[in-house]
Amino acid sequence: MMPTSAEMKAVMTKYASLVSAGDAEAVVALYADNATIEDPVGSPAQSGREAIAKFYQGACASGVKINVLSGPYGSFGNSAAMVAEVLVEVPGLGPSRIELVEVMEFDAQGKISAMRAYWGQEDMKPV
Amino acid sequence: MMPTSAEMKAVMTKYASLVSAGDAEAVVALYADNATIEDPVGSPAQSGREAIAKFYQGACASGVKINVLSGPYGSFGNSAAMVAEVLVEVPGLGPSRIELVEVMEFDAQGKISAMRAYWGQEDMKPV
């Protein structure tokens, strides 16, 4: 069984809220054990629960916020996508805004098995 | 050499314009010979120049229009993504609007090597 588009979209919206609330543990619980994160796409992937926990503990400690701007959009498979703004303190740059596309794949249990964030250097701007 | 984010973004914007102009031949020329299209994600992929030509000949004959709504967003690799609305005549449904995310991968020559369109049944609405 694949998760429905509605189920995938609900997880993605919840993901943004939980990251913004700084609840790294709850964010990590949305992921499958063997999940991968590529953020930004083109950087080395984070793989597995320990690496993913470290990733979100760092993000949440820095006070990152994620606001969904459009979508999430579904598919006829196990993937969905959304546009979001990420508000984050960037060392050397200060308070910054990244506008990006996040694509997520899901397993049969509705857990995130892969997350890829599409943004380039030019999509990050000081605010 | 990878294409720059600016180059990838320019191709994606041009892609939307050429589809809207009904110029299937020019659209197909943006693709690499061995490219794949998965539209929507979760449907069987179209692979190779002949299948891709058939796909866009059908789309252009039906008068489909694509308007970029946000992005394109880059990456630190060979991919970029954008949000678009697709205006299309759907058999049995009439004039319809699909809002979706398109992710494209590019080869070293800046040709599209893969296109994936994220939209579910619920992202398509009559207009």
How many angstroms separate the CA atoms of A33 and A52, rounded? 9
- Model-wide pTM > 0.90: yes
What is the reported pLDDT for A2? 86
Q: Is A122 on the interface with B (CB under 8 A)?
A: yes
How many angstroms separate the CA atoms of A40 and A119, rounded? 6
Q: Residue B2 — pLDDT band, cuts 50, 70, 90?
A: confident
Q: Is A19 helix (H, G, I), strand (E, B) or coil?
A: helix
Q: Which regions in chain A score pLDDT beneath 70?
A: none
Residue A118, Cβ neighbours under 10 Å: how many? Answer: 31
What is the reported pLDDT for B60? 95
Q: Is A28 on the interface with B (CB under 8 A)?
A: no
Computed over every residue of chain B, the mean pLDDT equals 96
Taking 90 as the threshold, does the pLDDT of residue B48 lie above it? yes
Cβ distance A69 to B70 less than 8 Å, yes or no, reads yes
Q: Which residues of B86-96 are buried (b: 16+ CB within 10 A; e: fewer)?
A: bebeeeeeeee
Q: Is B74 on the interface with A (CB under 8 A)?
A: yes
* Burial (0-12, 13-18, 19+ Cβ within 10 Å), B15: buried
**Which token pair is A4?**
């429905």
How many angstroms separate the CA atoms of A115 and A98, rounded? 16
Which residue does chain B place closest to A2, by CA atoms? B42
Q: Is B71 on the interface with A (CB under 8 A)?
A: yes
How many angstroms separate the CA atoms of A85 and A54, rounded? 21
What is the reported pLDDT for B1? 74
Amino acid at B87: L
**Distance from the A23 Cα atom to the nearest Cα atom in chain B, whole angstroms:** 27
Kindly provide the ipTM of the predicted complex, given to two decimals: 0.94
Q: How confident is the model over B58-78, as pLDDT tens digits? A: 999 999 999 999 999 999 999
Cβ distance A118 to B103 less than 8 Å, yes or no, reads yes
Contacts of B126 (CB under 8 A, 6+ apart): B90, B93, B94, B95, B96, B97
Taking 90 as the threshold, does the pLDDT of residue B90 lie above it? no
Identified catalytic residue from B23, B31, B39, B56: B39
What is the reported pLDDT for B65? 98
Q: Which of A117, A123, A94, A125 is CA-nearest to residue A46?
A: A117
- Domains and their CATH numbers in chain B: 5-126 (3.10.450.50)
Residues in chain A closer than 8 A to B82 (CB atoms): 101
